[in-house]
Amino acid sequence: MHLVLGVMDKEPSLRVIWGGAAALGLIGYAAVRFRRWLVLPSLALIAIAIWIQLGDLLDPHIGPAILQQAGLWYVGQACAAAALAVILCVLGLAPKRAV
């Protein structure tokens, strides 16, 4: 019998997740606008952050406990924040407008 103690007290809050995703996305956006080749290191950094954040969900013991305590809403919000970071970074590749 496994005792499920507080799993969510060890996980970041949604505020931290959204703030980190927005910060990584905006930094990636600015870097890519500066130099287009910086999209690869920026996306690599975002991928590492996503893997660290969402890696617990793939664990066979911790993942179900997170779903039980926080619900599908937490997982959906974490995935949406990760998508925001990637989208912001890729938006930096848009061509600059001629003035």
DSSP state of 93: T
| Distance (Å, whole) CA 77 – CA 50 | 13
pLDDT at 9 over 90: no
| Distance (Å, whole) CA 70 – CA 85 | 22
Full-model pTM = 0.84
For 48-65, write each residue's pLDDT tens digit. Answer: 999 988 888 888 888 888
8 A C-beta contact, residue 78 and residue 32: no
| Distance (Å, whole) CA 13 – CA 78 | 10
Structure tokens at 21: 């995703």
DSSP state of 11: S
